[in-house]
Amino acid sequence: MAVDNFIDIHSASLNKRGEELCGDKVKYLKTGPKTTVVLSDGLGSGVKANILATLTTEILITMLNADVPLEEVLKTVIATLPICQVRKIAYSTFTILWVDSRTNQFKVINFDNPPPVFCHQGRVNPLAMQVQEILGRKIQSAEGWLERGDFLGAISDGVLYAGMGMTMNFGWGWDNIAQYVEGVLVGKSHTARTIVKEVIDHTFELYQGAVGDDATFVGLYIRQRHPLMIFTGPPLAEAQDEQYVNQLLDFEGRKVVCGGTTGNIVASYLGEIVEMDLSTMRPDLPPIGMLSCVDLVTEGILTLSKATEYIRHCHCDLGRLRFDNNGAYLLAREILQADAIHFLVGQSINEFYQNPLLPKNISIRRSLIEELVAVLRHFQKEVTVDYC
């Protein structure tokens, strides 16, 4: 997989009517080149189903991330899940999507969920599933390779059976879902969020607002990576200013400068003056600035702190970020639109912002960056930090 490719992941669920908790659970983890996505569907609905599905996803993610052999992982999960004595089925089903970005290879493991949806070059290609028996239970698996523009998704049976009992006696059905995904790929912007949201919205329409079963769709879409570099704070050694400005300007992606002194360092190198956009000033936030070759220039400490608050409040979801044309909103938007964020953090301390309770070698700026990085990593953003 090309280094400028990105595995874009999104999931959405509908709760069964009358239930506060969803009986389906999705969790995903990116560790180095390995991406693991797990969808589990707990038997029934509500609290019990949610607990069963959560238990299943946690076991799978934890063991797979620890590089436990796949067969041992599956044996552990199957042995852990009891069997419903009435319906003779497992208390929780699951689908695993696994991708190695070094080789383009993907692997799908499916246990009693509907078949996965794989789209290559805009067309759905049904996967040839191999069947193996583990502890008396049938496990399906398939392998393949991903290219830019490919989509791989997993669904719970609540999506499959949407519309049942209406004109569609057996529900929406896998073939219709596959055709719908193809239509989205033809007519809509290509992100995992767009594809998943369109399918879930249509599922809700088929239920006519009265969702008969928990319905979940999770998918990953291979698209071009959107990188961002944020340069904040002057370097410790003034002689290194030019080196780090060059690193910023040579970066292939969006570029942001946070901090008045940092902005002046870049402006001096460019032979410019930072021009202020006073329309973006707020009582608690300074205005943004403008420089050629840089996409956004903001003040430092106050703006970083407010942007972190915005990102935490919207749960790292750009669609939930409340609009306000100020520096913190614009910074948060840049961060949420990016897939991979690289922070270039100067460690020269501005005494005006220094907390006297902190050691002299730990600045408020550094503490803020570490807090923001922790929030972003919690929501699976790819983040790197270079202190200078």
Question: Distance (Å, rounded) from C-alpha 168 to C-alpha 122?
Answer: 26
Which residue matches tokens 């949610």? 50
CB-neighbour burial class of residue 83 (10 A; exposed 0-12, middle 13-18, buried 19+) = middle
**How many C-alpha atoms does 360 have within 13 Å on its Cβ side?**
0
Q: Are the C-beta atoms of residues 245 and 216 closer than 8 Å to each other?
A: no
What local confidence, expressed as pLDDT, does residue 169 receive? 58
Name 300's Cβ contacts closer than 8 Å, sequence gap at least 6.
232, 233, 258, 259, 260, 261, 262, 353, 365
Q: What's the Cα-to-Cα distance from 79 to each of 110, 136, 311, rounded to whole Å?
A: 16, 10, 40
Strands 227-232 and 340-345: parallel
Domains of the chain (ranges plus CATH)? 5-224 (3.60.40.10), 227-387 (no CATH)
With 50 as the cut, is the pLDDT of residue 360 above it?
A: no
**How many C-alpha atoms does 134 have within 13 Å on its Cβ side?**
20
**How many C-alpha atoms does 23 have within 13 Å on its Cβ side?**
24
What local confidence, expressed as pLDDT, does residue 358 receive? 47
Confidence band, pLDDT 50/70/90 cuts, at residue 344: very high
Q: What is the CA radius of gyration of the chain?
A: 24
Alpha helix segments (H runs only) across the chain: 46-65, 70-80, 157-160, 174-187, 192-206, 241-249, 260-270, 301-313, 327-337, 364-378
What local confidence, expressed as pLDDT, does residue 273 receive? 94
pLDDT in tens, 225-236: 899 999 999 998
With 80 as the cut, is the pLDDT of residue 189 above it?
A: no
Confidence band, pLDDT 50/70/90 cuts, at residue 85: low
Which residues are registered as beta bridge partners of 14? 215
